[in-house]
Structure 1
Amino acid sequence: MNRIVLIGNGFDLSHKLKTSYNDFLFYYLKKILDSFFDILFYEGKLIELHSRSSITGVPKMETLDDLISNLNILKTKRDSNVSVKYNSHFFQEIIEVYQHEKWVDLENHYFSYLLRMSNASSNLKEDLSKLNQDFEHLKTEFENYLREVVISDKPIQNPAKFDFLLEDIPHDQLIDSKPVYPTYIENIHVLNFNYTPTFNIYANHLNSKKNTSINFIHGELNNPDNPIIFGYGDEHNEEYKKFENKKENQLFEHIKSFKYLRTSNYQDLIRFIDGNEFQVCIMGHSCGLSDRTMLKEIFEHINCKSILIYYHKWGTDTHENDYVNKTYEISRHFTDKGMMRKKVVSFDKSEAL
């Protein structure tokens, strides 16, 4: 039997890398406001700030809340000589979403905005062009942020930390398994949804003991042969299906399924899951709908015999972890909920990451 390891952003966050969208938004807005308070001028693709007079002192800018509060003060202060102009309604909505929810998911919000636009826009072609340009700009800025700020050369202290992935699978973690005897793992396929090389040192160590491959399914920083994939991937959404009846190809510009065709990464994954029965191990991946097309194909595959969640734990009480929420997300990728309950390993047989 084989093993697939899903690596998501939570894995990077556990390594103290500031790779969340909130981290990026803080960096992006601080760069804007630092420039404005320095020269009283900022002109960018998404927002412009101008002041007709000097400003005394620089306000507190230590958190994302500070930055957005400062931006709102500049925008709404009636006696101010400052002009704040959003050039992107999409970007303005992102700021508003964060204010209400204290977090933002750029990919999910893009798809939500795209759906609303496709149903309501009176000038769809022009509006889609603007939205896709704005989203592409944020993608580029996010990639630059990861490359310039986040990626660290600090050595991993313990390359053998995840050697438990080499262990045989206990019979009670598998459906259709004969009792007593554990199942030997032959190959490991690390499906890395991150753009960062954080898992590389662990994969190299695992490969020295057992055949281990790593697949940067969403692209890899600083690798032009494996460009970054940034967008949405839920072909099973009922609204998405309506896109295919509209004669407007710009609706698909940032849909992940079409980006996968630029490399053989997706085909490599399919060959692996078609080749033998496998267990899925989830490490730091949210299992959200932005990757539904791929996750549904993996989880519902006839060769998938087990889904093991390595959950995030933040306290000592039994309920202080994300195991249950993760099962909610996983269930959205199953048409057959009974099969989902058979494949997902129970909490008492799962472990914290």
Structure 2
Amino acid sequence: MMNRIILIGNGFDLAHGLPTSYADFIRGYNITLKLGLLEGEYERYDGLCSVNISDPEDRKTLEQFRWMLQDNTFRFIRNLGEITPAEQYDHFVSDHLIYESKFFETINKAVESKKWVDIEGEYYSLLKKVFKDKSCKYGDPIQLNEELELIKGALTGYLKSVQKHYIKSELRNPDIEQIIHEPFNFRDVAVSAQKQFLEYIVNKWAEKNRIESTGEETKADESFAAIASNLVTNWENEGLKSKFIEEIKNGNGAVCDEFAYPERTLLLNFNYTKTADLYLPANSDIPVNHIHGELDNEQNPVIFGYGDELDEDYKTISNLNDNSYLTNIKSIRYLETDNYRQLLQFIDTGPYQIYIMGHSCGNSDRTLLNTLFEHKNCVSIKPYYYEWTDEEGGHSDNYIEIIQNISRNFNSMQLMRDRIVNK
């Protein structure tokens, strides 16, 4: 048996043109706030931010913005490279905005300065500061956890809107669909697992042709079969091995197209959205494991927090004897459903290959990824990476960045080098 896990992260949604990054969420939050003021509000409070336009002169200014930004002429002017009414309005709102949550202010400032943010990473950094730094803005984790819960509520509300209005069957990409269901490539298999992979192909071939692969010589007119059936019990025979491998490397159709497909495929979705579900064929037995929960399923609540038990500070946190530090640790939240148990059952059934599609493999999921990457049944880790052309026409990609992140999820660098597929 040889299986495949498609590991799906936020980059998967972004590749489908969906505005689902944390930075998109923050921008969406700010736009909603500004539109609310334009549509008649004078004050707003949600626990994260507050705005109160109480001064009569400020209210007059806001009325002017309401008129200008709804006028088609001013909408056209906004496209000229000048200081536009929209930019003036942004400054006006900023001058009246009060952050009720220091945590939310931190991630907002990160989006402004870096154009991106890792909310879960920022949360864990603050959580560690609570017990390590006496000057930390939070005296205990309780307030920080409450603020994270507010952010989670705003985020899920935003993503529900994205899912409702943007995730349609037309988004399905045939190239991605083909990759999900493609046969194994011998070159992608770890060197330490190549014999196991070849045995898998031999057994598939034997089943197809109703013969027993005993290592005894088979019919001479079946050259591939003769090589294959002898190889398993004569692995040290370099002549047989080289012939068999050559058959596969040469793209022998009988091997790749018929015998090298995965027995089972699992879509392991780290996103809260259901973009991954678009790739389930009708009446398919391919499961989607929404490991971090779903937006509209009370039986599978959203998991939002941090999951790095390999971090040096985690042991200290767990020894503090204060459960408020563990409120948003993913390993504990996983126990609210059987998603994690189902994943363990899948990886225990037999050898598997991992395709990484859109997951950065950052530390916020380090515990789970370490379990997948270093498991005895993992035979291949193949990251799909982003390529782009810069302003000067040069070509770049983020392959090395992904590999660097993946490496942090390994304790054994030897395993890492063997299992990760080369660029």
Q: How does the TM-score come out when normalised to structure 2?
A: 0.73
Tell me whether 1:86 sits opposite 2:99 in the alignment: yes
Contact 1:273-1:303 at 8 Å conserved across structures: yes
SS of residue in 2 equivalent to 1:218: coil
Tell me whether 1:167 sits opposite 2:182 in the alignment: yes
SS of residue in 2 equivalent to 1:320: strand
Match of 2:51 among 18, 39, 49: 49
The structural deviation recorded for 1:168 is: 2.4
Tell me whether 1:147 sits opposite 2:160 in the alignment: yes
What CA deviation, in whole Å up to 9, does each residue of 1:239-290 have, x standing for no partner?
Answer: 1221012121111111111110011110111111111011000111111111
What CA deviation, in whole Å up to 9, does each residue of 1:44-63 have, x standing for no partner?
Answer: 2112111212223259899x
Question: Within 1, Cα distance between the matches of 2:119 and 2:326?
Answer: 16
Q: 2:273 maps to which residue?
A: 196
| Runs (5+) with no aligned partner, structure 1 | 77-81, 348-353
Q: Match of 2:34, as an amino acid?
A: L
The structural deviation recorded for 1:106 is: 1.1
Q: Rate the CA distance shift 1:184–1:41 in 2: closer, same or farther, 3 A.
A: closer
Aligned length: 335
Contact 2:43-2:51 at 8 Å conserved across structures: yes
Q: 1:12 maps to which residue?
A: 13
Question: Within 2, Cα distance between the matches of 1:243 and 1:70?
Answer: 44
Question: Within 2, Cα distance between the matches of 1:273 and 1:68?
Answer: 52
Q: 2:238 maps to which residue?
A: none
SS of residue in 2 equivalent to 1:298: helix
The structural deviation recorded for 1:121 is: 4.3
Contact 1:36-1:49 at 8 Å conserved across structures: no
SS of residue in 2 equivalent to 1:137: helix
Contact 2:34-2:93 at 8 Å conserved across structures: no
Question: Within 1, Cα distance between the matches of 2:402 and 2:139?
Answer: 38
What CA deviation, in whole Å up to 9, does each residue of 1:210-266 have, x standing for no partner?
Answer: x52211111112111111111111111111221012121111111111110011110
| Runs (5+) with no aligned partner, structure 2 | 70-74, 79-84, 196-244, 249-255
Q: Match of 1:187, as an amino acid?
A: R
Question: Within 2, Cα distance between the matches of 1:281 and 1:73?
Answer: 47
Question: Within 2, Cα distance between the matches of 1:219 and 1:85?
Answer: 32
Answer 1 or 2: which has greater helix percent: 2
Contact 2:18-2:162 at 8 Å conserved across structures: no
What CA deviation, in whole Å up to 9, does each residue of 1:70-106 have, x standing for no partner?
Answer: 6666555xxxxx4x43221111111222232121111
Identity across matched positions, percent: 37
Q: 1:271 maps to which residue?
A: 345
Question: Within 2, Cα distance between the matches of 1:198 and 1:280?
Answer: 19
SS of residue in 1 equivalent to 2:354: strand
The structural deviation recorded for 1:340 is: 0.7
Larger Rg: 1 or 2?
2
Q: How does the TM-score come out when normalised to structure 1?
A: 0.86
Q: Rate the CA distance shift 1:158–1:103 in 2: closer, same or farther, 3 A.
A: closer
Q: Rate the CA distance shift 1:72–1:94 in 2: closer, same or farther, 3 A.
A: farther
